[in-house]
Amino acid sequence: TLPQGQAYLLVIVFDVDSNSLDDTVDVIVVHILPSSLRRWSHVETFSGTFGFGSLSARYRVDCDKHFFGEDCSVLCVDTDSADGHYECDRYGNQECLPGYQNA
């Protein structure tokens, strides 16, 4: 079990040929930590366990709807009711709707 907000990408590289069974050539494991700024990472290269393969990839991590912050722990839901009159910015901060203040 992984801590909340973390993920692993597992890539198993096989040689597929008609001469023998499919052999495992390499295993690439990438530990992805949360970063919810909704932008793509820089291109990263990950090497395989056996040193025969590598993977170059870009990835991004998005929070679930209404959650914000580096670790997706900030909850903010746009509200226009007796509970408040605000929208959430891209960081989860409450911004008052026009005509209201002190959300």
Q: Is the pLDDT of residue 103 over 50?
A: no
Selected residue with higher pLDDT from 100 and 37: 100
Q: Residues 47-81: pLDDT tens digits?
A: 888 887 788 887 777 788 898 887 788 999 999 99
Percentage of the chain surpassing pLDDT 90?
Answer: 25
d(CA 3, CA 72) in angstroms, rounded, equals 13
- Whole-model pTM? 0.54
Tell whether the torsion through CA atoms of 77, 80, 86 and 88 is positive or negative: positive
Number of residues assigned to the chain: 103
Would you say 102 and 78 are in contact if contact means Cβ atoms under 8 Å apart?
no
Domain ranges of the chain: 1-62, 71-103
